[in-house]
Chain A
Amino acid sequence: MNDHERLAVLKTWKLFIKGSFPRSESGRTLPLHNKDGELIAHLSHASRKDLREAIESARGAFPGWSSSTAYLRSQIIYRLAEMLEGRRSELSDALRSTSGVSKKKADTEVSASIDRTVSWAGWCDKFPMVLGSRNPVAGPYHNFSMPEPSGVCVAVQGIAEQHSLLGFMSLVLPPLCTGNAVVAVANTEHPLAALLVAEVAPTADIPPGVLNVITGDAKELAGWIASHRDVDSVHAIADEAIAATLRAGAAENLKRVQILSKDEDFTDTDRWTNPRRLAPFVETKTVWHPSAT
Chain B
Amino acid sequence: MSDRGPQQLKKTWMILVLMVLAGMLLSFKVQDPAAPLVLTLALLTLAVLKARLVVLDFLGLRSGSRVLRVGLIAWPLFFALAAAAKALIAAVSLSG
User: Are A and B part of the same complex?
Assistant: no
